[in-house]
Structure 1
Amino acid sequence: MKKIVVASAAVLAMGMSSASAADLGAKMYKKAPPIVAAYDPWDIAFGAAVMSNYVFRGVTQSNGNKGSVAAYFEPRYNITKDVQLYAGVSGESIAFPNRASMELDGYFGIRPTWGAAAFDFGFFYYGYPGGQCFNTPAFCGGDINAVALPNGSVAKKNASFYEGYAKLNYTFNDYFSLGGNAFYSPNFLNTGAEGTYASITGKVIAPSTWFGSTGIGSYVSGEFGRQWLGTSDAFYGTVAFPNGIKYADYNTWNIGIGFTYKVFTLDLRYSDTNLSKGDCNAFTSDFTAPAAGTNFTAINPSGAGSSWCGATGIVKLSADLTAMTNLK
């Protein structure tokens, strides 16, 4: 009997030890639940800039060396870590032929990211409030105070327009990226002419070790683009083309070097186009162009020539922040 009791006790002890070992093993290999960090999908980007010349696709918007200031505000919503919705407003000081008080823009879009490829699809509205009409009263809606510009150029009171766009930027590594952009407007600058713009961009970022522990970064970037333009409406017509003029298509390019420090960027850039002074005058209605000249083209019978599309240097100092990164 004693042997039976001892044997039974041994079997029970072995069973308990096996059960305990099984439980221990199960606990050892059970995966802990992941720790999910708090995630706020909202963010706001905003910034401001001051520049020696506001150049848009190779053409000054600030009468050359008159300078310009700009600011923007852009709320963002991240649907996922790879898809962002955004909308924004921006404003710039300008010097337009119609004497518009400023440029006031609104835009929205979506930015999907797929690996190293970042896409951007959206809609942009360019507003130019406070403009005046410069032409004959008949072309200015019967405004008896309407007059042509001293050099014979004409300008609509309203130059506002909108564009749709698609962009792609591919980042190869920490130092090099390439991009492509396409924009389309059915009524560019409210001239009645279609406008299509496409460009390629590139950027090379210098290694951070170049400036030691100063926190200063630098880059070289450039763009080559082409602007295709259609035929204007009769407002901009000439004696030879009373129903409108076919604006000249043109190439534009820029290259520059930039320096960054925290939220600040100093950009030094060269910009140019292949537009002749005569075709530039017909396209821009430059109010500073001389009343007469030798820059005759089929669409510029006055011979007046504009430098608004020529070679220029640009110095720009900007600050760009996001609420989630810079205001925490």
Structure 2
Amino acid sequence: MSKPLLLAALSLFLAGNVMAAEDDSASTEKTESSAKPAKAAKKSADAKEEKAEDKKAEPTYPDWDVAFGAGAATDYVFRGISQSNRNPSWNSYVEFRYTPQKDVQFYAGTSIYQIDFPNDAFAEVDFYGGVRPTFDKVVFDFGFWYYWYPGGRTYNGLEPAYLNCTNGFYTPTGGCNTLEARLDFYEVYGKATYTPDDKLTLGVAAYYSPSWLNTGAPGTYASWTAKYVLPDKNLLPDGLGWYISGEWGNYFFGDTKDFYGNIPLPDYATWNAGLAFTYDVMTLDLRYYDTDLSEAQCNVLTGDDTATFRTKNITDINASGLGSKWCGAAFVGKLSFDMTAKTNLLK
């Protein structure tokens, strides 16, 4: 092949390679430029989805919800005093909640407890309602509570004794326990809880009734509570939590009405402390209760139908000499569940 032809062929070959390289470069730039908008569109879509999820997670107001639960305990102890004659008891409740705005909630509910009262009332049925305003880490609770004890009968201490004394007999001093059929009463209350972090909760509360247990004696109960969630990392099985909690309370009373002899009911202090385990909606609570009441004072407050006579129990306000063990130390185990409609049923 002559040199001119060889040079011409080489020129054509080089030109072809340059054009191919230019085509490849253009193709690459086109691919990259088209990929950038696609990636940007994906990021935008992801951002929109995240915003949609966040918006969905945020509650809207006004908001409605229903809380409900039930439990069974080895003893129903209320403010240090057994309401079930030291026997097992069950309870259940339902509470309706209305939240018109983020930091205010109105509520109304009812609960029922199995009891064993000396006047034969067969249950404690509660009706309550109030408002819970929130200010940062402090939640207040102001409300009204009505205690209804249906099915009771009056024991007035008149002859024949076995029909008209709750304990079914007269003591050697000629006295016995009396109790009216109607023990219903109401309270107004105010509470506040402070939660500095997700572990600790501190609370104070005050309750007032103008006629505690319909005795005619005004009653004021003040308490202080604390709860601390224990660390569970590597200590408990997955899903299981635990916490410790306790309460110290003081009850202050006035004088009773004529039926109960116009006597001053004894003030007292009560306390409890316990360890609880939680799993999902279930709670197992193991708790110790006690008071500073003597057996004679406890009898005055309860009209205990299982009270026994001892001469040491004869006092100015307990002439019968009967003594009750319903206010002493007690260890109580309770298994319960608590749910809300939106969290547990509609999620």
Q: TM-score, normalised by structure 2?
A: 0.78
Correspondence 1:52-131 to 2 at 5 A: 52-64=74-86, 66-131=87-152
Question: Is the Cα–Cα contact under 8 Å of residues 292 and 302 in structure 1 kept in the other structure?
Answer: no
Q: What is residue 193 of structure 1 aligned with on the other side?
A: 217
Counterpart of 2:291 (choices 273, 277, 281) is 273
Per the TM alignment, residue 254 of structure 1 is displaced from its structure 2 partner at its CA by 0.3
Matched, 1:47 2:47: no
Identity of aligned residues (%): 48
* CA deviation profile, 1:184-217 (whole Å, cap 9, x unmatched): 0000000000000001000110124244561100
Matched, 1:231 2:269: no
Matched, 1:251 2:234: no
Partner SS, residue 164 of structure 2: coil
Question: Is the Cα–Cα contact under 8 Å of residues 293 and 305 in structure 1 kept in the other structure?
Answer: no
Partner SS, residue 324 of structure 1: helix
Q: What is residue 134 of structure 1 aligned with on the other side?
A: 155
Counterpart of 1:307 (choices 288, 309, 325) is 325
Correspondence 1:190-229 to 2 at 5 A: 190-211=214-235, 214-229=238-253
Q: What is the CA–CA distance in structure 1 between the aligned matches of 2:268 and 2:91, rounded to whole Å? A: 26
- Change in Cα spacing, 1:213 to 1:53, as seen in structure 2 (3 Å) is closer
The code of the aligned residue for 2:90 comes to V
Per the TM alignment, residue 296 of structure 1 is displaced from its structure 2 partner at its CA by 1.9
Q: What is residue 153 of structure 1 aligned with on the other side?
A: 177
* CA deviation profile, 1:31-56 (whole Å, cap 9, x unmatched): x9x96547360000000000001011
Per the TM alignment, residue 293 of structure 1 is displaced from its structure 2 partner at its CA by 4.1
Aligned-residue CA RMSD (Å)? 2.1
The code of the aligned residue for 2:125 comes to L
Q: What is the CA–CA distance in structure 2 between the aligned matches of 1:210 and 1:193, rounded to whole Å? A: 52
* CA deviation profile, 1:98-155 (whole Å, cap 9, x unmatched): 11010011000000111100110000000000001001469xxxxxx96122251001
Question: Is the Cα–Cα contact under 8 Å of residues 133 and 146 in structure 1 kept in the other structure?
Answer: no
Per the TM alignment, residue 84 of structure 1 is displaced from its structure 2 partner at its CA by 0.4
The code of the aligned residue for 2:317 comes to I
Partner SS, residue 193 of structure 1: coil
Q: Which runs of 5+ in 1 are unaligned?
A: 1-31, 139-144, 238-243
Question: Is the Cα–Cα contact under 8 Å of residues 194 and 230 in structure 1 kept in the other structure?
Answer: yes
Correspondence 1:287-302 to 2 at 5 A: 287-302=305-320
Q: TM-score, normalised by structure 1?
A: 0.83
Question: Is the Cα–Cα contact under 8 Å of residues 294 and 304 in structure 1 kept in the other structure?
Answer: no
Partner SS, residue 308 of structure 2: coil
* CA deviation profile, 1:280-300 (whole Å, cap 9, x unmatched): 101110010014542122201
Q: What is the CA–CA distance in structure 2 between the aligned matches of 1:71 and 1:211, rounded to whole Å? A: 32
Per the TM alignment, residue 260 of structure 1 is displaced from its structure 2 partner at its CA by 0.2
Q: What is the CA–CA distance in structure 2 between the aligned matches of 1:128 and 1:73, rounded to whole Å? A: 18
* CA deviation profile, 1:36-93 (whole Å, cap 9, x unmatched): 54736000000000000101110000001x1100000001001112110000000000
Q: Which has the higher helix share?
A: 2
Q: Which runs of 5+ in 2 are unaligned?
A: 1-47, 170-175
Question: Is the Cα–Cα contact under 8 Å of residues 277 and 309 in structure 1 kept in the other structure?
Answer: yes
The code of the aligned residue for 2:334 comes to K
Q: What is the CA–CA distance in structure 2 between the aligned matches of 1:136 and 1:287, rounded to whole Å? A: 12
Instruction: Count how many residue pairs are aligned between Structure 1 and Structure 2.
Output: 285
Question: Is the Cα–Cα contact under 8 Å of residues 206 and 219 in structure 1 kept in the other structure?
Answer: yes
Q: What is the CA–CA distance in structure 1 between the aligned matches of 2:245 and 2:119, rounded to whole Å? A: 33
Bigger Cα Rg: 2
Partner SS, residue 60 of structure 2: coil
